[in-house]
């Protein structure tokens, strides 16, 4: 127990493997300027499905919806960047 709550230390995670395997599923997030390595949403979904505990299954729709939203935002940003790149290329073609 810590001052802020319990900490779980795991040797492996269901559906993902041990620490060495987990490195492939890690993404960094920014928490107020602090880089924090966490499991990616697809990895968390794999873990929840594999563990198949009632509380994990109940959480899946929320996690999957968050993943879909994250993917939609990334897709929109990609299209926006593509359009901006095309605009810059078009401006360059018209340069004097």
Q: What is the pLDDT of residues 3-34, one digit of tens each?
A: 888 888 888 999 999 989 999 999 999 999 99
Using a pLDDT cut of 90, give the percent of the chain over it. Answer: 66
Structural domain range at position 37: 12-93
Q: What is the pLDDT of residues 35-66, one digit of tens each?
A: 999 999 999 999 999 999 999 999 999 999 99
What pLDDT score was predicted for residue 83? 67
Is 68 within the bounds of a domain?
yes
Is 21 within the bounds of a domain?
yes
Is 5 within the bounds of a domain?
no
Coil, strand, or helix at residue 36? strand
pTM of the predicted model over 0.85: no
If one counts the domains in the chain, the total is 1
What pLDDT score was predicted for residue 88? 61
Q: What sign has the CA pseudo-torsion 22, 42, 67, 65?
A: negative
Asked if 18 contacts 24 with a C-beta cutoff of 8 angstroms, the reply is no
Is 61 within the bounds of a domain?
yes
Tokens of 40: 């990616």
């Amino acid at each position: 127990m810590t001052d802020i709550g319990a900490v779980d230390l795991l040797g492996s995670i269901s559906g993902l493997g041990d620490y060495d395997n987990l490195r492939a599923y890690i993404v960094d997030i920014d928490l107020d300027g602090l880089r924090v390595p966490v499991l990616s949403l697809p990895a968390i979904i794999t873990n929840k499905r594999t563990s198949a505990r009632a509380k994990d299954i109940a959480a899946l729709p929320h996690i999957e919806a968050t993943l879909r939203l994250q993917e939609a935002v990334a897709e929109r940003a990609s299209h926006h960047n593509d359009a901006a790149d095309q605009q810059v290329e078009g401006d360059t073609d018209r340069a004097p």
